[in-house]
């Protein structure tokens, strides 16, 4: 204890931070930029969530009640773009900014000014995207996948969509470069690759995925842009182009993107379960190899998103079997998390509750994913609500719950205060119950044949749609508790020590709570690393 207090003391003596708006606009401190990313992600989560409420309100009963079909399609498109690129990805980057330097014993990110630039691109990108709601023809309505020729029929919003996607891509690529360079060059002496926390490992692999696939998306949308404005026919059949080729390029980006959204969640769960089981993580190295295997496989499964476009049988078999292979490393991870808890001294604080819900519910999403990966079955599921149920199980109780688990885990470290655990537990139970009320019936709707992306439906789908919408309203309302818990914690939480959770291990817990504005300006000693870097 004395050692890290001694370490923190000199920092506190020169813990100058800039004040006022300059602190944020000119921010180069990883903690400030991390905070901005997280606030931005939370804002986008509520904006995208409000759009989801419009969708579920319209689908509460058959017929057109509240919005016209064009606006409904805009809502589904914008909801997806905002949640994926505005909420989940920046949320992970915010956590990466806060935690990676502290976990590897680095004073900051390797490229602090680039870090500032990466963040500040985002508000412009999303202002551009959101302002397309007010242009003639309305916001993009062709789906987040931007398939031609449909997307080319968008009105004035089309170039706004393309430019905003470019900006989001640029932000992600620059952020990813920063993270890779930080992890590879800024680790304190003694923090070898296989002594890094799993969150750092998963982010390292995620960053490589980002560098490989975001330019592919940028290339694809650039080609859409030239098709629309400059007379090229990359994806226009009339000019010798091929619209299906867009789908191949899009999903070459899109499937690794799925893992970009979920791999950092694996890292967080791998931090939380050992802490609240009071045991080291079972199979640390196999976890690293499993994440790397998943990342590799993510590049060779893309066409399982488009089995029904018509492709050779050999291609269908290849993509089906490669998809099945992903179950192996994923199974290893679920096994290891379960084995970590086995005979552990478990306690159920809010981060652990969210982590456990992740474990059960993400696995359900994984299983329905396997079902979708089976070619003949997918002919039944394609473009139905079954697919909607599948990816929402992966992304909401998967990625979003893991992010909330991460925030509840590290919030005492960031603020130096413990939050109202009772209120956070209410947040958990309401979320965990209503996320299932919201999404589980969508499996039934999909299996019964209800298509996705429609504002109206046949009457036989009414009952489960009503249940799903009620779940959505309560789930949405429950999320208001999340910022309340955080604000209450910042204002009046009870002070905590360096190690806010009894079973926590990792270098970040060797720093004071809250950590000094400039942490690890001198690298941690071997003793501190040995104590902190236990898995």
Catalytic, 304? Answer yes
Q: How far is the CB of 239 from other proteins (least distance, A)?
A: 8
State the Cα torsion 275-277-278-281 to the nearest 10°: -70
Closest CA to 289 of 365, 212, 205: 205
Q: Residue 397 in contact with residue 368, Cβ under 8 Å?
A: no
Closest CA to 412 of 278, 505, 509: 509
520 binds other proteins (CB under 8 A): no
Q: How far is the CB of 217 from other proteins (least distance, A)?
A: 9
Q: Residue 115 in contact with residue 37, Cβ under 8 Å?
A: no
162 binds other proteins (CB under 8 A): no
Q: How far is the CB of 160 from other proteins (least distance, A)?
A: 21
- Residue indicated by tokens 């602190």: 23
244 binds other proteins (CB under 8 A): no
In a 13 Å sphere around the CA of 491, the CA atoms on its Cβ side amount to: 6
35 binds other proteins (CB under 8 A): no
DSSP type of residue 147 = -
Q: How far is the CB of 176 from other proteins (least distance, A)?
A: 8
Catalytic, 259? Answer yes
Q: How far is the CB of 106 from other proteins (least distance, A)?
A: 9
Tell me how far apart the alpha carbons of residues 472 and 468 are, in angstroms, rounded to a whole number. Answer: 6
Q: From the candidates 182, 275, 330, 468, which is the catalytic residue?
A: 330
Tell me how far apart the alpha carbons of residues 44 and 442 are, in angstroms, rounded to a whole number. Answer: 24
Tell me how far apart the alpha carbons of residues 170 and 249 are, in angstroms, rounded to a whole number. Answer: 18
Task: For other proteins, give the closer residue by CB, 112 or 123.
Answer: 112
Q: How far is the CB of 113 from other proteins (least distance, A)?
A: 10
Give whole-number Cα distances, 470 to 78, 424, 435, 466, in Å: 22, 22, 10, 6
Written in H, E and C, the secondary structure of 207-262 is HHHHHHHHHHHHHHHHHHHHHHHCCCCCCCHHHCCCHHHHHHHHHHHHHHHHHHHH
Residues 115-154 that bind other proteins (CB under 8 A): none
Q: How far is the CB of 207 from other proteins (least distance, A)?
A: 9
Give whole-number Cα distances, 273 to 354, 357, 418, in Å: 10, 12, 19
Using CB under 8 A, which of the segments 157-165, 210-218, 268-276, 500-508 binds other proteins?
210-218
89 binds other proteins (CB under 8 A): no
Identify the residue among 74, 77, 115, 178 touching other proteins (CB under 8 A). Answer: 178
Q: From the candidates 4, 7, 30, 79, which is the catalytic residue?
A: 79
- Residue indicated by tokens 């996948």: 145
Instruction: Using only the alpha carbons of the chain, give its radius of gyration.
Output: 23
Q: How far is the CB of 10 from other proteins (least distance, A)?
A: 16
216 binds other proteins (CB under 8 A): yes
State the Cα torsion 117-121-124-125 to the nearest 10°: 180
Task: For other proteins, give the closer residue by CB, 256 or 264.
Answer: 256
Identify the residue among 108, 271, 378, 510 touching other proteins (CB under 8 A). Answer: 108
Catalytic, 426? Answer no
Q: Residue 407 in contact with residue 34, Cβ under 8 Å?
A: no
Catalytic, 255? Answer yes
Number of residues near other proteins (by CB under 8 A): 34
Tell me how far apart the alpha carbons of residues 116 and 519 are, in angstroms, rounded to a whole number. Answer: 18
Q: Residue 135 in contact with residue 157, Cβ under 8 Å?
A: yes
Q: How far is the CB of 111 from other proteins (least distance, A)?
A: 6
Using CB under 8 A, which of the segments 45-53, 118-126, 232-240, 450-458 binds other proteins?
232-240
Task: For other proteins, give the closer residue by CB, 185 or 192.
Answer: 185
295 binds other proteins (CB under 8 A): no
Using CB under 8 A, which of the segments 43-51, 85-93, 172-180, 459-467 binds other proteins?
172-180
Catalytic, 322? Answer no
Task: For other proteins, give the closer residue by CB, 240 or 310.
Answer: 240
Catalytic, 463? Answer no
Q: How many residues does the chain have?
A: 535
Closest CA to 73 of 59, 87, 88, 61: 59
Catalytic, 349? Answer no
Using CB under 8 A, which of the segments 147-155, 180-188, 319-327, 390-398 binds other proteins?
180-188
In a 13 Å sphere around the CA of 35, the CA atoms on its Cβ side amount to: 14
181 binds other proteins (CB under 8 A): yes
Identify the residue among 38, 223, 268, 403 touching other proteins (CB under 8 A). Answer: 223
The residues that are catalytic are: 79, 108, 144, 171-172, 255, 257, 259, 270, 304-305, 330, 333, 452
Q: Which residues bind other proteins (CB under 8 A)?
A: 107-108, 110-112, 114, 173, 176-178, 180-181, 184-186, 211-216, 218-220, 222-223, 232-234, 240-242, 245, 249
């Amino acid at each position: 204890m004395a050692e890290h207090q001694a370490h923190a003391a000199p920092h506190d003596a020169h813990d100058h931070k800039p004040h006022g708006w300059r602190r944020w606009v000119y921010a180069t401190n990883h903690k400030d930029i991390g905070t901005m990313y997280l606030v931005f992600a939370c804002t986008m989560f509520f904006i995208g969530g409000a759009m989801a409420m419009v969708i579920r309100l319209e689908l509460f009963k058959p017929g057109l009640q509240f919005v016209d079909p064009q606006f409904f399609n805009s809502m589904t498109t914008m909801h997806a773009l905002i949640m994926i690129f505005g909420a989940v990805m920046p949320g992970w980057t915010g956590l990466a900014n806060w935690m990676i330097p502290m976990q590897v014993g680095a004073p900051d990110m390797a490229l602090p000014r680039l870090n500032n630039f990466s963040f500040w691109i985002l508000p412009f990108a999303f202002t551009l995207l959101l302002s397309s709601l007010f242009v003639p023809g309305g916001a993009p309505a062709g789906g987040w996948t931007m398939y031609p020729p449909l997307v080319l029929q968008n009105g004035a919003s089309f170039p706004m969509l393309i430019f905003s996607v470019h900006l989001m891509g640029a932000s992600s690529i620059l952020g990813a470069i920063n993270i890779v360079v930080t992890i590879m060059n800024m680790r304190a002496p003694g923090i070898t690759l296989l002594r890094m926390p799993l969150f750092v490992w998963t982010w390292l692999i995620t960053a490589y995925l980002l560098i490989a696939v975001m330019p592919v998306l940028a290339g694809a949308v650039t080609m859409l842009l030239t098709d629309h404005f400059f007379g090229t026919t990359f994806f226009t059949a009339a000019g010798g182009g091929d619209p299906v080729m867009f789908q191949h390029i899009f999903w070459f980006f899109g499937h690794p993107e799925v893992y970009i959204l979920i791999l950092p969640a694996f890292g967080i769960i791998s931090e939380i379960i050992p802490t609240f089981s009071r045991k080291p993580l079972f199979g640390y190295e196999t976890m690293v190899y499993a994440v790397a295997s998943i990342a590799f496989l993510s590049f060779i499964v893309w066409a399982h998103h488009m089995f029904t476009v018509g492709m050779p049988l050999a291609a269908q078999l290849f993509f089906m079997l490669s998809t099945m292979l992903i179950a192996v490393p994923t199974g290893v991870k679920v096994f290891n998390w379960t084995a970590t808890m086995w005979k552990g001294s478990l306690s159920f604080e809010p981060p652990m509750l969210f982590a456990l819900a992740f474990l059960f519910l993400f696995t359900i999403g994984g299983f329905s994913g396997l079902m979708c990966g089976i070619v003949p079955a997918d002919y039944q599921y394609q473009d139905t609500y079954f697919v909607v149920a599948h990816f929402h199980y992966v992304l909401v109780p998967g990625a979003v719950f893991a992010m909330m688990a991460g925030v509840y885990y590290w919030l005492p470290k960031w603020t130096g205060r413990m939050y109202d655990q009772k209120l956070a537990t209410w947040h958990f139970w309401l979320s965990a119950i209503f996320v299932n009320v919201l999404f589980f019936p969508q499996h039934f709707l999909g299996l019964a044949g209800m298509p996705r992306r429609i504002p109206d439906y046949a009457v036989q789908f009414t009952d489960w749609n009503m249940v799903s919408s009620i779940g959505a309203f309560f789930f949405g309302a429950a999320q208001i508790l999340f910022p309340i818990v955080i604000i209450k914690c910042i204002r009046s939480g009870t002070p905590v020590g360096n190690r806010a959770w009894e079973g926590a291990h990792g270098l970040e817990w060797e720093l004071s709570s809250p950590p000094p504005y400039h942490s690890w300006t001198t690298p941690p000693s071997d003793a501190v690393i040995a104590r902190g870097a236990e898995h």
